[in-house]
Structure 1
């Protein structure tokens, strides 16, 4: 499957930002319930799929946000941040299957970018927009081998 280029509007969200290695990834996944609980306590309806926003990788430590899109900008409280996915063009590729294999999709997107001369919006190792959105609801699709995850990288203007 080939990536597509999509123009996207800015999308408000709330998130918790953390840093972890892959060996510590359980602490990242543990933030999902906290983010959903925060929006539920405030009566805010999610406006899209749960996502991870990757900012950078230093050694084996990944700087990441666990977030949920919301209909409009929301003030955070220090732990939970209000933010917005940046508008712009994104290279988008669907990952079908277990999240443990998502690096294959990252590699395919990187190879496509190199082959086509597409530049991702990265400055000094920091991504302007690198998102992994979980489109499958585990309550509806319990088998991770059947999950669909959208990988979207912002393309440099």
Structure 2
């Protein structure tokens, strides 16, 4: 069940992630590759400083999505291969906390977008390309094995 949406100011966050292109039905398999990022970070003795996320760079639900799954880190690093680095931009974000199974995230995304439209808010996006559209996963599957108890934040950057 989602919480009430709100607008929050978020500071810039360097990150390391795996980048890929998938269709809607491939998101789960792509997210499962997060372990590759964990291994890459561990090999370089870089510690994540926050919860894992999926960053939606291009969202075309009828065709292809460009995603990054990774972790925030303290400093900007150089990536290699499918591992990319960057900075999630600072700014105002429309946010929504989703409590429940990840299958409910599509509806939570819809709810956040409807709320933003009702508020007259504009996304920092150019068509299907988003400046920052994130799902942040706070629940560790080893500590919270029941997916119905997971906590996930949606954070969508608003136009400055």
Q: Fold conserved (TM > 0.5)?
A: yes
Structure 2 residue 68 is matched with structure 1 residue 72: no
Secondary structure of 2:111's aligned partner? helix
Question: What does residue 115 of structure 2 align with?
Answer: 112
Question: What does residue 29 of structure 2 align with?
Answer: 27
C-alpha distance in structure 2 between counterparts of 1:30 and 1:137, whole Å: 13
Question: What does residue 90 of structure 2 align with?
Answer: 87
| TM-score normalised over the length of structure 1 | 0.95
**Which of 134, 140, 144 is equivalent to 1:137?**
140
Deviations 1:64-106 (A, max 9, x none): 1111111111111232111111111101100110101101110
**Which of 42, 63, 78 is equivalent to 1:40?**
42
Structure 2 residue 153 is matched with structure 1 residue 156: no
C-alpha distance in structure 2 between counterparts of 1:3 and 1:34, whole Å: 32
Question: What does residue 97 of structure 1 align with?
Answer: 100
C-alpha distance in structure 2 between counterparts of 1:94 and 1:15, whole Å: 22
Secondary structure of 1:27's aligned partner? helix
Deviations 1:9-42 (A, max 9, x none): 1100001111111222343123211011110111
Runs of 4+ with deviation above 6 angstroms: none
C-alpha distance in structure 2 between counterparts of 1:3 and 1:98, whole Å: 18
Cα RMSD of the aligned pairs, angstroms, is: 1.1
Higher mean C-alpha displacement, 53-62 vs 136-145: 53-62
| TM-score normalised over the length of structure 2 | 0.93
**Which of 144, 149, 152 is equivalent to 1:146?**
149
